């Protein structure tokens, strides 16, 4: 039923794009909670593609983080997300956010966390990281 509403919203192409994105994001979370993760991932991918086509929604960072977290067990998708962050301009600092979310989602092993965080800090502010350790 909820997916039908999602499809209707897409057909109508409501001018309130942010509302539609917020609704679809909630739909993804509720489907994950209902143990329908494969269906949730389809909607999340559709939503991500929609925001790439129409422009970012107001909570694009949340969608980015959700993609990483929900695909944490799929190395191929995580590699594609990483590749997306490494190509082109990065006004939202997704390169750094990718690493941080990988840590939060348990993708990066604990023994590597300090090294990864140091690299993030160095990329944001090289003077914050010194070799005097």
32: how many CB neighbours lie within 10 A of its CB? 17
Return the pLDDT at 132: 56
**CB 70 within 8 Å of CB 29:** no
Return the pLDDT at 35: 96
Q: pLDDT band at 65, cuts 50/70/90? A: very high
Return the pLDDT at 129: 73
Question: b/e string for 11-24 if b means 16 or more Cβ within 10 A?
Answer: eeeeeebeebbebb
**CB 37 within 8 Å of CB 70:** yes
Return the pLDDT at 67: 96
Burial label, 72 (beta-carbon count in 10 A; 0-12, 13-18, 19+): middle
| Residue 12, pLDDT above cutoff 90 | no
Return the pLDDT at 131: 62
């Amino acid at each position: 039923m909820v997916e039908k509403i999602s499809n209707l919203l897409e057909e109508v192409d409501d001018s309130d794009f942010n509302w539609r994105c917020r609704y679809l994001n909630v739909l993804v979370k509720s489907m994950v909670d209902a143990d329908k993760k494969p269906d949730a991932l389809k909607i999340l991918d559709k939503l991500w593609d929609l925001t790439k086509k129409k422009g970012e929604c107001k909570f694009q960072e949340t969608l980015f983080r959700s993609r990483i977290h929900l695909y944490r067990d799929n190395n191929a998708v995580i590699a594609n997300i990483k590749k997306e962050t490494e190509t082109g301009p990065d006004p939202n600092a997704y390169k750094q956010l990718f690493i941080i979310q990988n840590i939060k989602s348990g993708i990066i092993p604990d023994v590597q966390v300090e090294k990864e965080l140091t690299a993030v800090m160095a990329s944001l502010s090289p003077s914050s990281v010194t070799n005097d350790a």
